[in-house]
Structure 1
Amino acid sequence: MTALSLVIRPERPEDAPAIERLQARAFGPGRFARTAYRLREGADERMDLGVTASVGSFLVGSVRMGPVRTGATPFVMLGPLAVDPSFEGRGIGGTLTRAAIEAARQAGDGLVILVGDAPYYARFGFTVVPPGRLSLPGPVDPARLLWLELSPGFGAGAAGLVEAVRAG
């Protein structure tokens, strides 16, 4: 198999249409019914934390992060992480995840949460949110609500209903 000529770079505003097409290919129309997607509706995106992966001019992967909070405690939510189905299994998702986490760390964010597969995200340091600490505005399997403290002890101040920081 030939090695990919993969280019990882920060997301740019003009990437939005290609990212939307990528998410449609990766997740299908059912994505809109998921709690994590509903939480992000109408919310700002942290463009400084978004990362893309391309092979030539073809966008094959993307990860975004958005600002969320519980009460007055702000942090970020990773997702969606999307990889084109024809490029799955090549480490693109892991590369994007590491880049986004590092961008959040460099930006001074204290905590990253996500809804995802615990065995997959454990390699990046994510753990299951302790029972009763955080809730989302919709159904989520508690075993899939994960967090990663970027600042030690930051999670102690995060408790309650997670809300998206809305645009406007």
Structure 2
Amino acid sequence: MFQLKPEAPDDWWEVEALYDLCFAPGREALSSYRLRDGVPPVAGLSTVARDALGIVGGAIRYWPVHVAGQPVLLLGPVAVHPVHQGEGLGALLMQASMEKAAALGWQRILLVGDEPYYRRFGYARIEGVEMPPPTNPDRILAHSLQEGAWDGVRGAVEKAG
């Protein structure tokens, strides 16, 4: 059993250690990190899952960005500790955080990832939205939290703030 809570400042380094464990060295060299540099994650939306002992088993972060001047959430990273993978924790983090994003009034989410995994959460490839290079355009996925939210929203993804 996991308890989901908004990520607090005191969680930062424990979550970073989880991301280091789950992702390849050099993850911060990815182009999506250029959009995150110097910008805090969206308060109240980035989420930590702790087990009964209080140990972080998973985490998800969201960052504010803009596309064509429109506010967009950039999802990522999402990670689950290897001992808890396959238990549905990643899906729980995705679903709970997306519901909260909608309740907070966000309309659009963007991520860079594998469509076969994220399709079950409503994500699909989006044409005409450009992440900083060298992002593979086939991995740029979008989700509308409100009907038609991505209609006519095309262009470069820009850092918020």
TM-score, structure 1 as length reference: 0.89
Distance 1:28 1:42 in 2: 22
Distance 2:2 2:69 in 1: 39
Give the conservation status (yes or no) of the 8 Å contact 1:70–1:162. yes
2:140 match: 145
2:18 to 16, 19, 22: 22
1:101 match: 98
1:112 to 103, 109, 114: 109
Distance 2:31 2:83 in 1: 26
Distance 1:58 1:109 in 2: 30
Asked whether 1:161 is paired with 2:145, we answer no
Asked whether 1:34 is paired with 2:30, we answer yes
1:136 to 131, 152, 156: 131
Q: CA RMSD in A?
A: 1.3
State the one-letter code of the partner of 2:75. Answer: L
Moved more, 111-120 or 138-147: 138-147
Moved more, 16-25 or 151-160: 151-160
1:37: how far off? 2.2
Unpaired runs of 5+ residues, structure 2, are none
1:30: how far off? 2.1
State the one-letter code of the partner of 2:88. Answer: G
State the one-letter code of the partner of 1:154. Answer: A
Higher fraction of helix: 1
2:77 to 70, 77, 80: 80
Unpaired runs of 5+ residues, structure 1, are none
Distance 1:128 1:113 in 2: 10
1:86: how far off? 2.1
1:114: how far off? 0.3
Q: Secondary structure at the match of 2:41?
A: coil
Distance 2:144 2:96 in 1: 16
Distance 1:153 1:139 in 2: 28
State the one-letter code of the partner of 2:7. Answer: E
Give the conservation status (yes or no) of the 8 Å contact 1:73–1:157. no
Identity between Structure 1 and Structure 2 (%):
36
Once the two structures are superposed, residues 78-126 of structure 1 have per-residue CA deviations (whole angstroms, 9 ceiling, x without a partner) of 1110111222111111110111111110011110000011011111111
Distance 1:143 1:71 in 2: 20
